[in-house]
Amino acid sequence: MNKFIPVFSPDLNGNEKLYLNECIETGWLGSNGPFVKRLEQEFAKFCNQEYGSCVTNGSAALDVAIRAMKDVYKWEDFSEVIIPSFNIISAAQSCIYNKLKPVFADAEINTWNVDTSKIEELITNKTKAIVIVHIYGLPSDVEEIIKIAQKHNLKIIEDAAQAHGQEYKGRKCGSFGYVATFSFFTNKHIACGEGGIVLTSDKELIDKINYYKNLCFTKDKFIHTDLGWNCRMSNLQAAVAYAQFEKLDKTIEKKKYIGKKYHNLLKEIPAELSVEKTNYAQNHYWIFGVVINKELKLTAKEAIEKLAKENIETRPFFYPMHKQPVFNELGILDNIKRPVSEFLYDKGFYIPTGLNLTDEELEYIAEKVRNLFA
Amino acid sequence: MNKFIPVFSPDLNGNEKLYLNECIETGWLGSNGPFVKRLEQEFAKFCNQEYGSCVTNGSAALDVAIRAMKDVYKWEDFSEVIIPSFNIISAAQSCIYNKLKPVFADAEINTWNVDTSKIEELITNKTKAIVIVHIYGLPSDVEEIIKIAQKHNLKIIEDAAQAHGQEYKGRKCGSFGYVATFSFFTNKHIACGEGGIVLTSDKELIDKINYYKNLCFTKDKFIHTDLGWNCRMSNLQAAVAYAQFEKLDKTIEKKKYIGKKYHNLLKEIPAELSVEKTNYAQNHYWIFGVVINKELKLTAKEAIEKLAKENIETRPFFYPMHKQPVFNELGILDNIKRPVSEFLYDKGFYIPTGLNLTDEELEYIAEKVRNLFA
C-alpha cells in the first residue's frame, strides 16, 4: 500500500463543523463559552460526577487535580502517591510539581494494567493516594484497588484519559475517582486536538480546581494569594469535543470492530494481543497492542521500524516510570524490581486503530504484522 | 442603554470560519497541524524573528521561554530577573516556577510602562535578565532598557502579549527580545480564545522551547531526561489566530479610531488617559485606560461599580507585583517603595474597546464616564 496509514485518525463527521461555526457566529471563543459549560455539565453527568472543569489537556488535568487534592486534604510535602509504572509521565510529573513523591507499582502481564497484588507492599505511613489508570482503554481492577484504598484510608485519583465511555462492571470509568481526569487529545475517543477535563463530586475540590487553572485570580481580580497556572480550555476546543461526545457510542463501536478484526487476523502470531475481556470489563481498544513473545529475538523497536517501511505508523509502549532518567536524577526511585513493565516496553507496540480505517487497510496491516514473525 | 457593553469583543468577520472548516475537512486538529506551522513561520517573520512556537496561552509562553533561557544560559537557581511591578502575574510566576527570583521595577506615571530610571538600582550580581512588557499596548522605552541590559550583560525577554503589530521607532514589538512572547487570548489583537506564541532567532532556544512544551518527549518517545509541561496549541486555535493575524492592520485601525474618539470625548475629565503617543511610539490602545486624578476621592473600584450599573463592563488596573500576598509569603519582596504602581492600581481602570463598538456606544460610555466626575 502506497498510502501512509497513521496510527490514529479522528472521525469528524458529526456536528464538529456546525458547532465551530456557532462559536464564530456568536463570538464565543474563550473558556467561559457555552460549549465549555455544556461539556462540563453533561460529561460530568455521563460519568456520574457532579462537576466538571475543562482544561488545556490531560496532563494539565492531573496538575490541577492533584494540586487541589493536596490542598483540600492538607497532604504534607513529600507525601506519597502510588502510580502504575507502566504509564505516561503526566501523573508522576504532576506529583513532582506539587511536591509529592510518586511511587511506582508494576503492571500485570495480561491486562497491562497495574498488578493489584503489588500495591500494598508500596504503602507507607506517608502514602495518601492511588492513581488508577485504565491503560490503553481497558479498565483497571477498580474494586480491588478501592478495597486497598479503603483499608489504608487512601484517596483515589482516576486517570481515565484512555477510557472515555468505558465501563467497569457496568459503571462508567471516571465515576470511581474522588477526582477523575480525561484527555481530549487528537487520538482519544473524544478528540479536539488538545483538551482535557477534571471531574469530581466535591464542591470544594472543583472550586479549587477552577481557581488553580485560572492563575489563582480572585474576586479582587488581580490580587493573588497563590500561584496557579493558566490551563483554561477555549470554547473552540469544547465545541469539537462536545460534538465528539455526542457520537461516542459510534466511536466505541468502530473501535470494537477494529479490535475484533485484528483478533481474528492475528490470532496465530507468537505475541500477546490486547485482551478482549476480563471478569469486569470488555476492551474497547483505545489502542490495539501487540506484545511479542519473550522467546523471540524480535524487539518492539525492530517491529516498529519494519512496519514503518510498509507505511504503517505504530507507537512504542510506555517506558516504565521506575526507569526514567529524570526520576533517577531526582533521587526518588527505590530498588524494587518491576519486571513486567520493563518486559512490556521491550516487546510491546501498538498498531493503527484510526476511526477511518477500511477493512482493506486492516487486512493489509495484519498481513504486515504477521510477516514480522514469518 | 439596556444592552450590556463588554470590555472586549472580537471581530470574527475574516477567514475564521473558513479555516476552522478546513481543519475539520482535513482532519487536522492537533499541534502538528498546518495552521500551527503557518502561524509560527509567518508571525515570526512578521516580528523579524527566525522561529516561532505556538503554545496554549501567554502565561505558558513565558513559562517555556524563561525555562529555556535559564537552561541555555545556565542561570543558577535564584538568579534574578527584573520585571515591571505594574503587570499581570504571569512573568513573575514563571520565574518562581523556574527557581528564579523576580525583582520588581516601578512604573512611570505617564506611560504606565516601566520607569527606566528605576531599573539600575535593582541590578545585583545575580541579575540575569530584564523582562520588557509593553503595558496596555504602548511600547516600553526599549532602547533605554537595551542600553542598561548591554551595560550589565543582561538578556532581554520581551513580553509583547499586549502589543501585536505595535512598533517602537518603526520596528515591530516582539523583535527586540532574545525571546519574545505573545498571547492570543480573546481580548487580544490576535484572538483565538486561548493561545500564545514564543519567538526567537536562536535555534538552540527554540529547540528547548519545543522540548519543554511537549512534556520533554525525546526521539525515544517515552524516555524522559527532564520534566516539562504539555502546552501545545491545537490547529483549531491556530486556524482562528491565523485568520486574525491576516487582518491585524484593520484591528489596529479600529482600536486607534476608538482611542481617538475617547480622547475627544473625555478630554475635559479630571483624569489621565492612555497617552496618544510618546517620542518613540503611537498608542494602538489594546485597552483605553483612565487614571483618576490624585486629588479626587473617587477610586477606581467605585468608578467600576458605578459603570457596571450602567451596563458598562470595565476592568481594574493591575495590582502591583510587589504587593502580592503570594510573593510576600514566599519571602521574595524587598522594602523598596514603588509608589507609582500603587497609585495606578488605586486610581486606574479601563473602559470598553471591543472591536464591534458603535459610535453611539462609544458616546454612551464616554457620557457615563464623564458623569463619574459630575
The 10s digit of each residue's pLDDT in B199-244 is 999 999 999 999 999 999 987 778 999 999 999 999 999 999 999 9
Indicate if the pLDDT at residue B135 is higher than 90: yes
Architecture in CATH for domain B16-246: 3-Layer(aba) Sandwich (3.40)
pLDDT of residue B221: 75
Which of A93, A230, A304, A322 to mutate against chain B (most B CBs within 10 Å)? Answer: A230
Q: Where in chain A is the domain with CATH 3.40.640.10?
A: 16-246
Å between A91 CA and nearest CA of chain B: 12
pLDDT at A285: 97
Burial degree of B198 (CB within 10 A; 0-12, 13-18, 19+): buried
Closest-CA distance of chain B to residue A374, Å: 27
Please state the CATH superfamily assignment of the domain spanning residues A248-371 in this structure: Aspartate Aminotransferase, domain 1 (3.90.1150.10)
Which pLDDT score is estimated for B219? 78
Q: Which residues of chain A have pLDDT under 70?
A: none
Task: Kindly list the residues from chain B whose CB atom is less than 8 angstroms away from the CB atom of residue A60.
Answer: 229-230
Does position B1 have pLDDT exceeding 80, yes or no?
no
Alpha carbon distance A78, B96 (integer Å): 19
Q: How far is B123 from chain A (nearest CA, A)?
A: 25
Across residues B60-79, what is the average pLDDT? 97
Q: Label residue B347 by pLDDT band (50, 70, 90).
A: very high
Determine the length of chain A: 374
Of A30, A227, A236, the CB nearest to B93: A227
Q: Say if the Cβ atoms of B329 and A225 lie within 8 Å.
A: yes
Q: Which residues of A touch B90 (CB under 8 A)?
A: 215, 230
Q: Which fold has domain B248-372?
A: Aspartate Aminotransferase, domain 1 (3.90.1150)
pLDDT at position B126, please?
A: 98
Q: What is the pLDDT of residue B222?
A: 87
pLDDT recorded at residue B12: 97
| Of the listed ranges A355-359, B98-102, B194-198, B223-227, the one predicted with least confidence | B223-227
Q: Are A193 and B29 in contact (CB under 8 A)?
A: yes
A30: left (phi over 0), alpha (psi -120 to 50) or beta: beta
Give the H or E element holding residue A67. Answer: helix A58-72
Interface ipTM above 0.90: yes
pLDDT tens per residue, range B278-299: 999 999 999 999 999 999 999 9
The residue-averaged pLDDT of B298-314 equals: 97
- pLDDT tens, residue by residue, B18-52: 999 999 999 999 999 999 999 999 999 999 999 99
pLDDT of residue B274: 98
Give the DSSP H/E element, type plus range, for residue A253.
Answer: helix A248-266
Provide the mean pLDDT of chain B.
Answer: 97
Strands (E), chain B: 51-55, 80-84, 101-105, 127-133, 155-159, 167-168, 171-172, 179-183, 196-200, 271-273, 288-292, 315-316, 348-351
Average pLDDT of B331-337?
Answer: 95
pLDDT in the model for residue A341:
98
